[in-house]
Amino acid sequence: MFEQFVSGINLELLSNLGLVAELGLIVVFATLVALIGRFLKQPLILSYIVAGLIIGPIGLGLIGQTQHIALISELGIAFLLFTVGVESDLNKLKSIGKFVFVGTIVQISLICGISFSLFTFLGLDFIVSVYLGLILAFSSTLVVVKHLSDAQKLNTLHGRLMIGFLLIQDFLVVLALPLLSVNMFSVEVVFPIIIKGILLLLLSVLLGKFVFSKVVSYSSKSQELLFLSGLSTCFVFIFIATLLDFSPAVGAFLAGLSLSALSSNLELIGKIRGIRDFFVTVFFVSLGMQLTLFFSNSLDFIFLIAGIMLLIVLVLKPLIFVLISIMGGYGTRNGLLVGFSLAQISEFSFILASQGFNAGKGPLPSDIFSITIIVTALTMALTPYLMNSSESIYSRLSGFFSPFSKRIQFVNKLNDLERLPEDTELINHIVVVGAGVMGSSIAQAIGKHNDIIVVDHDPDVIFNHINLGLNSVCGNIEDNEVWTKVNLVKARLLVIAIPDTIYALYLVKKARRMNPKITIFSRAKTKRNALEFYENKVDFVILPDVIGSNVFIKNISSFLETGKALDISNFRDEFITYLKEETKEERKRFRL
């Protein structure tokens, strides 16, 4: 029945429609497979590649890799790198910039060197081994940042370390693209590329600072003009990069980087994201269409190559990150969380592989290209499971690294992110978890006359509270070491001021197991959450939104009855001064 249906499809009519039919098939199949992938909790990139396999030559054969699709795929790469450049917040690297830069160079050098040695030993060509070494060295910004964002861990210490490593990797992979395009590394060839690269970088800085940033800032008053100005900036840099013999991807990345400091960059990303997602989808689907199951080498050799690639990415890369983190003073736990979260191959490695293959014209053989795409997709699919299991992996493997960290003494930078009493044991104290507006206000109010300890996952927040003279510890709720440090077993009161209900409930249950007599106060987002807290033996629950809305309703009703708003003249000016002072750093950061 299915064969009759397929044979009945007027493929000639589809072919006559040309680009419209090709894009339509790509979008429809990408959507269908992505829906299935979302149900299975798999990355969208993997779904797009599978969609390409289905409609490509080794699947239903509905579409082949045409010149139109190749051109749109190249635009997909350009827009992907443009948005990465716009989203690159270099301010996040201020406190850890030197460490992540040196650490990334070391990590990439080790992965590339070891991979190159292994693959050349197995008989692969020099340039093929170079490509594979670089492909394995980089990790996925899209997959990792998406998972960190969903888990609300972007501002954790290990989250910032990951983002730092990924930003440096993204910058270096953009530099690698033009160097690899020449397929040779003599001084006569590489030196002009470096000179032109420096010229392009300087030009992008000057144009971005004095021309395009002003144009885009002015255009932000109109949504349509903002979209067109951002798009025009991208294409102008692409034209300049092409004139200097660089790929459009390099120009697009520099265009995004030149606009990253604008206060309207988030709004610009929102405008560009739709068109980027469309072109990126076509790129990843086209990768799947290029895969082949016809191997020129023996299957045993291909499986050996795939096994070595998986070993390097899933074992060697995390190990290197752990050692770098320990030597940098960030501890075993952060190293393991970073290492297993970055144990995948990057979406930019797809770009490297695509450039190396070049539709069969490049140095990468078709079978090596295919197995590279498959291994990359597999490691991306494993990432969510590795990141979710990183805490349990740490608890099992931490003992393996402790002799190394104790035998060789490194500077412990984590000491700067905690302040604990040195002479007295913590007994009958108060633990405040979550140092946002509510938690910070509570800590400062009751900390004057009580022994308190503030716990938060954001290093900047903890550092500010340490400067205020409050006992503070930086750490995640899942980290058992944090609760040992704050001596939760002997605390008399636990105040949970975090907005996330799942983590708050997790902490309530943990606290009850460790200290059954402890009194627990907690905030809740909804009435249902509050009921759930009380059912889990929380002593007092507050709903800030409900209290705020009640006060709001009371004052609105008063206005409707009397015709007069609440007189706040006595403290209005003082409150405005307070708000300006509190938001000073934020305004400075975003240039408001």
Query: Residue 120 above 80 pLDDT?
Result: yes
The more confidently predicted of residues 155 and 339 is 339
pLDDT of residue 575: 52
Work out the percent of the chain whose per-residue pLDDT is above 70: 76
What is the pLDDT averaged over residues 154-180?
A: 76
State whether residue 559 is helix, strand or coil: helix
Task: State which amino acid sits at residue 543.
Answer: L
Strands (E), 39-143: none
What is the pLDDT averaged over residues 146-155?
A: 69
How would you list the strands of the sheet with 472-474, edge to edge? 418-419, 472-474, 452-456, 430-433, 493-496, 519-523, 540-542
Fold of 2-402: Na+/H+ antiporter like fold (1.20.1530)
Highest mean pLDDT among 88-92, 142-146, 178-182: 142-146
Determine whether 565 is exposed, middle or buried from the number of CB atoms within 10 Å of its CB (0-12, 13-18, 19+). exposed
pLDDT of residue 591: 41
The more confidently predicted of residues 112 and 155 is 112
The more confidently predicted of residues 91 and 57 is 57
pLDDT of residue 251: 79
The residue with tokens 């900047």 is 460
- What's the distance, Cα to Cα, between the start and end of the chain in Å? 64
C-alpha–C-alpha distance, residues 261 and 244, integer Å: 25
Highest mean pLDDT among 361-365, 395-399, 580-584: 361-365
Query: Residue 443 above 70 pLDDT?
Result: yes
Query: Residue 343 above 80 pLDDT?
Result: yes
Which of 151, 118, 143 is closest to 132 using CA atoms?
118
C-alpha–C-alpha distance, residues 139 and 350, integer Å: 11
**Reported confidence tier of residue 592, pLDDT bands at 50, 70, 90:** very low
Task: State which amino acid sits at residue 26.
Answer: I
Query: Residue 381 above 50 pLDDT?
Result: yes
Q: Which helix (H) or strand (E) holds 297?
A: none
Work out the percent of the chain whose per-residue pLDDT is above 90: 4
- For residue 414, what are the contacts with CB-CB under 8 A and spacing of at least 6? 329, 330, 331, 334, 474
Contact criterion met (CB below 8 Å) for 249 and 170: no
**Reported confidence tier of residue 369, pLDDT bands at 50, 70, 90:** confident
Report the DSSP beta bridge partners of residue 541.
Answer: 522
Global pTM reads 0.70
**Reported confidence tier of residue 246, pLDDT bands at 50, 70, 90:** confident
**Reported confidence tier of residue 579, pLDDT bands at 50, 70, 90:** low
The more confidently predicted of residues 391 and 239 is 239
C-alpha–C-alpha distance, residues 340 and 353, integer Å: 23
Query: Residue 317 above 70 pLDDT?
Result: yes
Determine whether 414 is exposed, middle or buried from the number of CB atoms within 10 Å of its CB (0-12, 13-18, 19+). middle
SS (H, E, C) 120-186: HHCCCCHHHHHHHHHHHHCCCHHHHHHHHHHCCCCCCHHHHHHHHHHHHHHHHHHHHHHHHHCCCCC
**Reported confidence tier of residue 312, pLDDT bands at 50, 70, 90:** very high
pLDDT of residue 2: 45
What is the pLDDT averaged over residues 503-508?
A: 87
pLDDT of residue 55: 81
pLDDT of residue 244: 76
Locate the domains of the chain by residue range.
Answer: 2-402, 418-542
Question: What's the angle, vertex CA 103, arms to CA 256 and CA 589, rounded to 5?
Answer: 40
Query: Residue 589 above 50 pLDDT?
Result: no
Domains 2-402 and 418-542 share a fold: no
- Kindly state the tokens that stand for 4: 């009759």
Superfamily of domain 418-542: NAD(P)-binding Rossmann-like Domain (3.40.50.720)
What is the pLDDT averaged over residues 541-564?
A: 78
- 10 Å Cβ neighbour count for 3? 7
pLDDT of residue 310: 92
Highest mean pLDDT among 108-117, 520-529, 579-588: 108-117
Mean pLDDT taken over the chain:
76
- One DSSP character per residue, 367-416 reads HHHHHHHHHHHHHHHHHHHHHHTHHHHHHHHHHHHHHHHHHS----GGGG
**Reported confidence tier of residue 240, pLDDT bands at 50, 70, 90:** confident
C-alpha–C-alpha distance, residues 498 and 436, integer Å: 8
